[in-house]
Structure 1
């Protein structure tokens, strides 16, 4: 479920007992319908990985933002955090804004191991899927 909160006692843990989290980081929009695809990924990821805490976070225009989500996860005992930029390419937000936010997170939470994946749209599996979908038209 989107927005479900957990407590430290029921937070997801990895095989070695380390609590893990994934943040799907997207731009944000004032249009409430814009969130639906990102939240669908969040729901699917939770179903596929019940041992991982998954949340969406947004750069601007809507909440929650990355810092708030990471703070909440850290407070619930998450120690390994993966940030997935939900962008088609590595533009200004992924190249400049996101590293600044991650730098602030690392300073605030030195115990938190943070990895940042590449923009999801640049993954060869995603480009192959987009090409396959486009060729259907």
Structure 2
């Protein structure tokens, strides 16, 4: 399916875990995005230990006519995965899907708004 109008998607990208309960916060964020912007397709992808991975997720989105994919690294700390592994994956995705625009955002842990919210949570009574 192709369309002349842009089709946008957001991929929430996280490390992954074998524990199925670990995924709940990611899916909760995805549901909030869907509620706020129903026209934007949103999905989750994982680096390891979980499925789907980023290449499979991107291929599925592209096959469904998405032509602009924003990848949001859901990392609080910016370690090797966010600093090296993810940018390399995006380079590979751009080569595999040259007609698609990929935008890699900074890790959520680098956003002052999230840091302020975490500080407020820590300071609030339990």
TM-score range relative to shorter protein = over 0.9
Instruction: Provide TM-score, normalisation by structure 2.
Output: 0.95
Supply the distance in 1 between the matched residues of 2:90 and 2:78 (Cα, whole angstroms).
Answer: 16
Supply the distance in 2 between the matched residues of 1:77 and 1:31 (Cα, whole angstroms).
Answer: 32
Contact kept? 1:88, 1:122, Cα under 8 Å: yes
Supply the distance in 1 between the matched residues of 2:78 and 2:13 (Cα, whole angstroms).
Answer: 13
SS of residue matched to 1:78? coil
In the alignment, structure 2 segments of 5+ residues that lack a partner are: none
1:118 correspondence with 2:118: no
Match of 1:61 in 2: 49
Contact kept? 1:120, 1:126, Cα under 8 Å: yes
1:94 correspondence with 2:82: yes
Contact kept? 1:90, 1:118, Cα under 8 Å: no
Query: Which runs of at least 4 in structure 1 moved beyond 4 Å after TM superposition?
Result: none
Supply the distance in 1 between the matched residues of 2:33 and 2:112 (Cα, whole angstroms).
Answer: 19
1:38-65 alpha-carbon deviations (Å, 9 max, x no partner): 0000111011111111000000001000
Supply the distance in 1 between the matched residues of 2:68 and 2:57 (Cα, whole angstroms).
Answer: 13
2:68 to 80, 98, 103: 80
- Aligned CA-pair RMSD: 1.5
SS of residue matched to 1:56? strand
Supply the distance in 1 between the matched residues of 2:77 and 2:70 (Cα, whole angstroms).
Answer: 18
In the alignment, structure 1 segments of 5+ residues that lack a partner are: 1-7
Supply the distance in 2 between the matched residues of 1:66 and 1:87 (Cα, whole angstroms).
Answer: 15
Instruction: Provide TM-score, normalisation by structure 1.
Output: 0.87
2:8 to 5, 16, 20: 20
